[in-house]
Amino acid sequence: MSKYSFLILSFFVILSASSCKRHKMHKKDIVAVDTLDSQLMKAEKPILVTDEKAKGETPKVEAPVVAKIDVKPAEIDFKYLNIKSKVNFSAGGEEQSFPVNIHIKKDSIIWLSIVVGLEGGRGIITKDSVIFLDRLHRTYYKYDFASLSKQFNFNLNYDLVQSILIGNMPIKKRETDVVEKQEGNFVIKQKEGFVKIENSIAEANLKLQKVNASDETGDSKMEIDYSNFLTITDLIFPQDIRAKIDAKKDGKVLQTSINLQHNKIEALDQSPGFAFSIPKSYVPK
C-alpha cells in the first residue's frame, strides 16, 4: 500500500491543487435556500442621459442593470458520520482498488482505515496536520496544511478535504463569487490563486453536482462529479464521487482517475471512534 493511496483518498483537493499548480501552478437539517424574488428580476431599460450644454453630442447610454442571482447551496450538516466506501484509483498505468472506513467529526477530525483482511493502513486528518500509517511497511507520513499550502501556492485546509468527501462546495460561496443561471443549474464561479473553479448546483435540490477547476494556462484541470444521491435522516448525500485530473508535464498530459463509492452512510449523535497513535517502532518517511 503506497502513501499515495492514502493521499488520493483523502486529498481530492490537494491532488487537484498539485495538478493545477505543479508547474506554476443538533439535528441534521439541510440549509434552506434563499429563493429569488420573482426568480430573475427584469433588467431595466437603458436610460438616455442628455445635457443642455452638450447638445449635438451623442447621448450617453447607461448599461442595463442586471439582477444579482442569490443562491445558497444545500450543505450536509451533521455531528458524526460513519462511512464505508470503496476506492478505485488509476494513474500512469497503475490501478488500485480497496475498501476504506471513514469516521468524521464535523469540522474537527477525519479518520480513515483500509482493511483487506488485516488493516493495511490508517490515517487521521485534523485542522493542522495529516498523518498516515503504512502498517505493511511499518512507516508513517506526516504533513501539515501550512507547508502544503505554501508548496502548491493554494490554500489547502481541513475544510476542503471534508467538503470534498461529503459533497459540500470545496470553497464556500462568497459575496464576490459570480453566479450564473443555466438550464437546470446554477453555476458559481470562483478564483483561488491561479486556479479558476466552477461549481454546478442543481436547481431542483441545490446540491453540488460538479466541480471544474483549472489553472490559468489551461494545461492542468480537474473535474469532480457527484451522483446517486440518497436521503438519509434529512441529509441529501452523494454515494458516488468521481474525480478526473489532467496535468501536463514534459509536453504530455498525465491522467489520474479516482472513484469513491460510499456503500454505507450513517449520521450519528455519538462518536464512532477515532483511535490513532504512531507506534514507536514506525519510521518516518
Kind of pairing between the strands at 139-144 and 208-215: unpaired
CB 16 within 8 A of CB 171: no
CB 257 within 8 A of CB 91: yes
At 65-87, the pLDDT tens digits run 556 788 899 999 999 999 999 98
Whether 263 maps to a domain, the answer reads yes
Kind of pairing between the strands at 109-116 and 94-105: antiparallel
Whether 120 maps to a domain, the answer reads yes
CB 134 within 8 A of CB 119: no
CB 111 within 8 A of CB 103: yes
Whether 59 maps to a domain, the answer reads no
Which CATH number goes with the domain that contains 242? 2.50.20.10
**pLDDT value at residue 57:** 60
Whether 44 maps to a domain, the answer reads no
Whether 146 maps to a domain, the answer reads yes
* Structural domain total, the chain: 1
Range of the domain at 196: 3-35+69-280
The residues pairing with 236 across neighbouring beta strands, listed in sequence order, are: 231
Q: Which residues of the chain have pLDDT under 70?
A: 1-67, 151-154, 249
**pLDDT value at residue 90:** 86
Q: What are the start-end ranges of the H helices in the chain? A: 3-10, 12-21, 145-152, 158-166
| 245 contacts: CB under 8 Å, gap ≥ 6 | 15, 16, 19, 220, 221, 222, 223, 255, 256, 257, 258
Whether 154 maps to a domain, the answer reads yes
Whether 43 maps to a domain, the answer reads no
**pLDDT value at residue 153:** 62
Whether 60 maps to a domain, the answer reads no
